[in-house]
Amino acid sequence: MVQALSWKAYTLKAMRKPRNILLRNPLEGISANCLCLAVCLLFSGAAQANEVVRILTLNVAGLPDMLTAQDNPRERMRIIAEQANHYDVVAYQEDFYESAHLDQYSKQTFRLRGTEFRWWDSVLPWMRKSGLTLESRWPLELKSFRSYSTCYGYLQYKSDCWVPKGMMCSRTITDSGVFLDICTTHLDAGRSPGDNEARAKQLAQYQTELPPPVVGAPWLRVETGDFNMNPDDPLLQPLLAERDVFNVSVAHISHSRDYIMLTHNDRVDVEVLHMGSVEKFNGLSDHPAIEAVLRLRPKPYPFAAASAAALP
pLDDT tens-digit map of 56-100: 999 998 776 655 555 778 888 889 999 999 999 999 998 876 555
Average pLDDT of the chain is 75
Share of the chain above pLDDT 90, in %: 34
| pLDDT band at 231; cut points 50, 70, 90 | confident
161: in domain: yes
6: in domain: no
117: containing domain: 17-310
pLDDT digits (tens, 9 = 90+) for 99-152: 556 777 788 878 887 765 544 455 555 555 778 999 999 999 877 889 899 888
152: in domain: yes
Euclidean distance between CA atoms 225 and 183, whole angstroms: 8
Euclidean distance between CA atoms 179 and 219, whole angstroms: 5
Q: What is the pLDDT of residue 244?
A: 77
Q: What's the CATH code of the domain at 102?
A: 3.60.10.10
| pLDDT band at 46; cut points 50, 70, 90 | very low
Lowest mean pLDDT among 114-118, 236-240, 303-307: 303-307
Picking from 237, 227, 225, 143, the residue whose alpha carbon sits closest to that of residue 181 is: 143
| pLDDT band at 169; cut points 50, 70, 90 | very high
66: in domain: yes
| Domain count for the chain | 1
247: in domain: yes
Longest CA span, the chain: 59
Determine the straight-line distance between the first and last CA of the chain, rounded to whole angstroms.
21
The answer to whether residues 198 and 161 touch, using CB atoms and an 8 Å cutoff, is no
